[in-house]
Amino acid sequence: MNADKPYYVYVLWSESRRCFYTGVTDDVEKRTVDHNSGVSKWTKGKGPWRVVFRKSFRSLGDARKFENHLKRQKGGNTFYELTGLDRAALRSHGS
């Protein structure tokens, strides 16, 4: 990761699996391609994935703290409050 670029916490949504993946990167578009092409073992075969949230941070440490905070929410109400995502819209999209 490049120190001159911001770091991003991103959330991907898999419509087919109806689940989220949360990560940190300095290049959200590249990581999304990685997830959709099977490069990432955690998301391989579970996509297609689409970015539904991203937030920038100046330091990797701050990004990791926020990522871990989101992951601890396990998709609960606070997860939706922190990301601004609409639970009903995601769950009904494509149905």
Q: What is the pLDDT of residues 24-46, one digit of tens each?
A: 999 999 999 999 999 988 899 89
pLDDT reading at 13 higher than 50? yes
Confidence of residue 95 (pLDDT cuts 50, 70, 90): very low
Query: Is 81 contained in some domain?
Result: yes
Confidence of residue 93 (pLDDT cuts 50, 70, 90): low
Confidence of residue 23 (pLDDT cuts 50, 70, 90): very high
Query: Is 95 contained in some domain?
Result: no
Query: Is 1 contained in some domain?
Result: no
What does pTM read for this prediction? 0.88
Q: What is the CATH number for 47?
A: 3.40.1440
Reference 9, options 72, 90, 70, 78; nearest CA is 70
Query: Is 91 contained in some domain?
Result: no
CA angle, 13 as apex, 55 and 58 as ends, to 5°?
15
| Domain encompassing residue 81 | 7-85
Q: Under the phi-then-psi rule, with left for phi > 0, alpha for psi from -120 to 50, and beta for the rest, what region is 90?
A: alpha
Question: Domain count of the chain?
Answer: 1
- pLDDT of the residue at 3: 58
59 in helix, strand or coil? Answer: coil
74 CB-contact burial (10 Å; exposed 0-12 / middle 13-18 / buried 19+): exposed
What is the percent of the chain with per-residue pLDDT over 90, rounded to a whole number? 74
